């Protein structure tokens, strides 16, 4: 048997066994959006590593339009095993109920930076090592929160933004529309997308990759999944109306192989930039 193949196989087995050996529980934290004109009461659930020695890194995890589900919970269960706290925020309850009344993505920026501030004031969290990741709606929010102009608007020029950004199928055309000649990104970013995504990522994420090389001052990676659909890392297979989808109709379809690959890659990327 090829030695390299055997080594990679053993590493994968160890990774799976390690992830399956951990139980978790979280603390509910309530906070308020930074938008003073439209303050919004929101909350999140903080999951800490079982053994804390000093302050630990953390990731803010943002759900999609459907709300908190198995995708967000996966990272709440598994990132703490690597010494990284997870703060799953709820940006849906009391704010919107479906794609038809979902606010624009920019609406959630003051909420995401409020979550960053909350974690920075938590005695268990390293204030210099806080990242953000999200899925669909949360992925779009993850990408636009990387822009320096958005960070400056909500927490000021003198404070650092998120340390790392990980976005799953973030509707790349939306992020492209937000980029200007003066836009800058200073934090590492990883984007995952499927070529059959109903929101056009198959067409627009490659364009985004080219564009980001001109404005990013840090590492940027975009990883595609051939024939992958929106929500490829989830367990739901469904079609529904969404004004943001191409033609107003979205298809969500999970793929276990894609999910495992993307999740392992995400954890590796997060560890690389937070640990």
Give the Cα separation of 205 and 167 in Å (integer).
12
103 DSSP assignment:
P
pLDDT band at 25 (very low <50, low <70, confident <90, very high): low
DSSP assignment of 97-163 equals SSGGGPPPGGGGHHHHHHHHHHHHT-TTEEEEEEEEEEETHHHHHHHHTTBHHHHHHHH-TTS---S
Give the Cα separation of 138 and 119 in Å (integer).
18
- Asked if residue 16 has pLDDT above 90, the reply is no
pLDDT band at 2 (very low <50, low <70, confident <90, very high): low
Across the chain, mean pLDDT equals 91
Overall average pLDDT of the 108-126 stretch: 98
As a whole-number percent, the residues of the chain with pLDDT over 70 amount to 91
pLDDT of 68: 96
pLDDT of 18: 37
The per-residue pLDDT for range 188-245, each reduced to its tens digit, is 999 999 999 999 999 999 999 989 888 888 999 999 999 999 999 999 999 999 999 9
Give the Cα separation of 124 and 55 in Å (integer).
5
pLDDT of 3: 55
- How far CA 225 is from CA of 62, 132, 195, 220, 238, in Å, comes to 21, 22, 6, 17, 19
């Amino acid at each position: 048997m090829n030695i390299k193949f055997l080594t990679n196989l053993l590493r994968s087995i160890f990774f799976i066994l390690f992830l399956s050996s951990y139980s978790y529980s979280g603390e509910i934290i309530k906070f308020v959006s930074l938008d003073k004109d439209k303050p919004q009461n929101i909350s999140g659930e903080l999951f800490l590593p079982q053994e804390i020695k000093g302050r630990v890194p953390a990731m803010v995890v943002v759900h999609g339009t459907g709300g908190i589900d198995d995708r967000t919970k996966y990272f709440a269960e598994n990132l703490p095993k690597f010494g990284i706290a997870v703060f799953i925020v709820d940006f849906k309850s009391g704010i919107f109920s479906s794609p038809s009344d979902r606010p624009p993505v920019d609406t959630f920026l003051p909420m995401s930076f409020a979550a960053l501030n909350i974690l920075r004031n938590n005695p268990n969290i390293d204030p210099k090592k806080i990242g953000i990741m999200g899925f669909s709606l949360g992925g779009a929010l993850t990408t636009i929160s990387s822009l320096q102009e958005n960070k400056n608007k909500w927490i000021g020029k003198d404070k650092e933004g998120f340390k790392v950004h990980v976005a799953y199928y973030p509707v790349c055309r939306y992020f492209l529309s937000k980029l200007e000649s003066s836009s800058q990104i200073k934090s590492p970013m990883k984007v995952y997308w499927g070529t059959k995504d109903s929101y056009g990522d198959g067409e627009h994420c490659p364009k985004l990759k080219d564009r980001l090389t001109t404005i990013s001052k840090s590492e940027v990676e975009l990883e595609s999944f051939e024939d992958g659909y929106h929500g490829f890392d989830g367990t739901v297979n469904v079609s529904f109306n969404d004004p943001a989808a191409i033609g107003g109709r979205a298809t969500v379809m999970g793929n276990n192989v894609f999910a495992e690959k993307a999740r392992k890659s995400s954890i590796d990327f997060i560890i690389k930039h937070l640990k």
